């Protein structure tokens, strides 16, 4: 049997991290400045003194650099947009169990104060008292709630004709299905008669039942669970699928065992309340401690809060990608504005000649604007192409959303085109107001 425990990284800042970031910034600045400085020292100054505009190689290098910046920022914006849409889809996903008006308490009672018999009695009595508490409609106990970031258990399960497969495992008490409103599709729920000395029984989900037995009845069949020393158990019921590890997962094989037959001191009490779960939290805490004052209560909060935390990693990734994407967008837009303004200034004589020959200010405006939009369009094409190549890697992180989602691609490209138009606006306006006589005398 395996228990998957989530890892919670320490994201706090400290002096070593700050010094590392500072050192990396200084080294990056030095490395990025060496090549331009070398080119400036070894460059030929005579063309510049004669009024030249520099080599075409440098102009092409600037444009290629901007294309790469636009492409990179678009990739980051696309990824953050896909993750953001995935989060919204997760929020609308049905987890397969009730979330509202549900409160849970992760508790622990230790040995040798409690044996399996006395510990089971403690949780049974606590559940009975919780059900009698005002504001509490129902209560049950489980090992880990579905989507609980603390971890999920898994075990091997097989039959006489089917080789062992690894499936997630839920350990629940009688009444858990009713408390969480998980429908029982076939057979019966666990009862108080399914105790430690009773024959082993299990509940299986509809996905597991359909894969193994198709449309035939699953209740009454026997399975073996356990990877090293399998134990034979009777299937007494089939329940509806629920999300177990993440809201974006597809239905996978899952089965339940009675809490009395798989007792542990670490257990989660879950309660259905008639109103706001937080209003009944103090009374529930007091009741649990009145049973045993040294019981450890690690968490006592609404199930909805637990569901929100179940996808904290994708929220963090989305925030980081969005921040980098916006930063890259701003830097590339500033660079685009500078290049377009520089090229417009270098073409002052050409603009004056065009206007002397009959070119209109709107035509000059479109000429300068087109120069910047060509760079932007090239960067967008590069960014979309790279993002399409990365689609297989992104697919497993998205909740039922295609990595080539046309809405996200269109929104990201449209955002960049809008930003590019603003970045080119001032240079284009300045160019269309050039006096032809002054421009023709410009050196």
pLDDT in tens, 81-91: 887 777 777 77
pLDDT of residue 174: 94
pLDDT computed for residue 396 by the predictor: 66
Would you state the pLDDT for residue 127? 94
C-alpha 414/C-alpha 375 separation (Å) is: 15
**Looking at residue 105, what is its pLDDT?**
92
Per-residue pLDDT band at 205 (split at 50, 70, 90): very high
* pLDDT score for 441: 61
Bridge-partner residues for 204, per DSSP? Answer: 238, 255
Burial class (CB in 10 A: 0-12, 13-18, 19+), 139: buried
pLDDT at 45 over 60: no
Report how far residue 442's alpha carbon sits from residue 28's, in angstroms, rounded to the nearest whole number.
Answer: 39
Task: State the DSSP code for 249.
Answer: P
What is the mean predicted confidence (pLDDT) over 88-103?
A: 83
Average pLDDT over residues 413-428: 86
Q: State residue 440's pLDDT score.
A: 58
* pLDDT at 332 (0 to 100): 81
Give me the pLDDT at residue 436, please: 67
Higher pLDDT, 81 or 144: 144
Q: How confident is the model at residue 1 (pLDDT cuts 50, 70, 90)?
A: very low
Give CA separation, 278 vs 62, 101, 271, 303, 305, in Å: 59, 9, 11, 11, 11
The confidence score (pLDDT) of residue 43 equals: 59
**What percentage of the chain reaches a pLDDT higher than 90?**
29
What's the confidence (pLDDT) of residue 233?
Answer: 94
Decide if pLDDT at 24 tops 70.
yes
Higher pLDDT, 346 or 131: 131
Angle at 256 between CA 253 and CA 260, to 5 degrees: 160
Stretch 362-372: mean pLDDT, rounded? 83
| The pLDDT of residue 8 | 47
End-to-end CA distance of the chain: 81
337 vs 397, residue with greater confidence: 337
Q: Where are the beta strands (DSSP E) in 192-251?
A: 201-205, 222-225, 231-239
pLDDT of 58 > 50? The answer is: yes
Query: Tell me: the pLDDT tens digits for 103-136?
Result: 999 999 988 888 999 999 999 999 999 999 999 9
pLDDT band at 2 (very low <50, low <70, confident <90, very high): very low
Neighbours of 40 (CB within 10 A): 9
What's the chain's average pLDDT?
82
How far is residue 196's CA from residue 269's CA, in Å, rounded to a whole number? Answer: 20
pLDDT for the residue numbered 170 = 92
pLDDT for 5:
41
Task: Say which residue, 159 or 151, is predicted with more confidence.
Answer: 159
Q: Which of 35-49, 57-71, 274-288, 419-433 has the highest mean pLDDT?
A: 274-288
Residue 6 has what pLDDT?
44
For residues 379 and 74, the answer to whether their CB atoms sit within 8 Å is yes
pLDDT tens digits along 298-316? 889 998 888 877 777 777 7
pLDDT at position 414, please? 87
* Average of per-residue pLDDT across 225-243: 91
Would you list the domain boundaries of the chain?
Answer: 48-92+312-440, 110-294
- Answer whether 294's CB lies under 8 Å from 108's CB: no
| Total Cβ atoms within 10 A of residue 123 | 22
pLDDT at 129: 93
Helix pair angle (116-131, 277-291), 10° resolution: 140
Neighbouring C-alpha atoms within 13 Å toward the C-beta of 183: 7
Give dist(CA 63, CA 83) in Å, integer: 30
The alpha carbon dihedral of 308, 310, 312, 317 has a sign of: negative
Strand pairing partners for 224?
158, 232
pLDDT at 340 over 70: yes
pLDDT at 261 over 70: yes
Q: Of 147-156, 393-402, 408-417, which range is least confident? A: 393-402
């Amino acid at each position: 049997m395996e228990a998957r425990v989530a890892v919670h990284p320490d994201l706090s800042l400290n002096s070593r991290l700050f010094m590392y970031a500072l050192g990396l910034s200084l080294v990056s600045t030095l490395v990025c400045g060496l090549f331009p400085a070398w080119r400036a020292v070894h460059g030929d100054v005579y063309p510049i003194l004669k009024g030249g505009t520099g080599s075409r190689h440098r102009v092409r290098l600037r444009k290629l650099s901007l294309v790469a910046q636009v492409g990179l920022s678009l990739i980051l914006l696309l990824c953050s947009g896909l993750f953001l849409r995935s989060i919204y889809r997760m929020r609308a996903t049905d987890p397969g169990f009730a979330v509202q008006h549900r409160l849970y308490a992760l508790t622990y009672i230790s040995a040798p104060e409690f044996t399996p018999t006395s510990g089971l009695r403690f949780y049974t009595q606590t559940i009975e008292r919780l059900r009698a508490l005002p504001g509490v409609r129902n209560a049950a106990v489980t090992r880990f709630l579905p989507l609980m970031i603390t971890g999920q258990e898994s075990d091997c399960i097989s039959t006489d004709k089917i080789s062992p497969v690894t499936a997630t495992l839920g350990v629940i008490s009688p009444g858990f299905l009713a408390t969480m409103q998980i429908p029982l599709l076939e057979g019966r729920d666990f009862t108080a008669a399914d105790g430690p000395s009773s024959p082993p029984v299990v509940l299986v989900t509809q996905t597991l039942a359909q894969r193994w037995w198709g449309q035939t009845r699953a209740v009454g069949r026997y399975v073996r669970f356990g990877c090293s020393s399998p134990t034979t158990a009777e299937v007494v019921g089939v329940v509806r699928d629920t999300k177990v590890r993440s809201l974006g997962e597809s239905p996978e094989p899952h089965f339940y065992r009675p809490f009395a037959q798989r007792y542990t001191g670490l257990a989660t009490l879950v309660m259905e309340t008639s109103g706001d779960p937080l209003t009944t939290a103090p009374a529930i805490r007091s009741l649990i401690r009145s049973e045993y004052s040294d019981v450890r209560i690690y968490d006592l909060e609404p199930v909805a809060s637990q569901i929100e935390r179940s996808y904290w990693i994708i929220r963090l990734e989305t925030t980081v990608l969005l921040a980098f994407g916006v930063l890259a967008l701003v830097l590339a837009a500033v660079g685009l504005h500078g290049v377009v303004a520089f090229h417009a200034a270098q073409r002052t004589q050409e603009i004056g000649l065009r206007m002397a020959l009959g070119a209109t200010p709107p035509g000059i405006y479109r000429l300068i604007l087109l120069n910047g939009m060509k760079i932007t369009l090239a960067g967008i094409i590069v960014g979309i192409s790279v993002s399409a190549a990365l689609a297989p890697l992104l697919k497993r992180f998205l909740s039922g959303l295609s990595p080539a989602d046309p809405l996200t691609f269109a929104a990201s490209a449209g955002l960049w085109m809008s930003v590019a138009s603003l970045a080119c606006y001032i240079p284009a306006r300045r160019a269309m107001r050039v006096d032809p006589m002054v421009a023709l005398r410009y050196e």
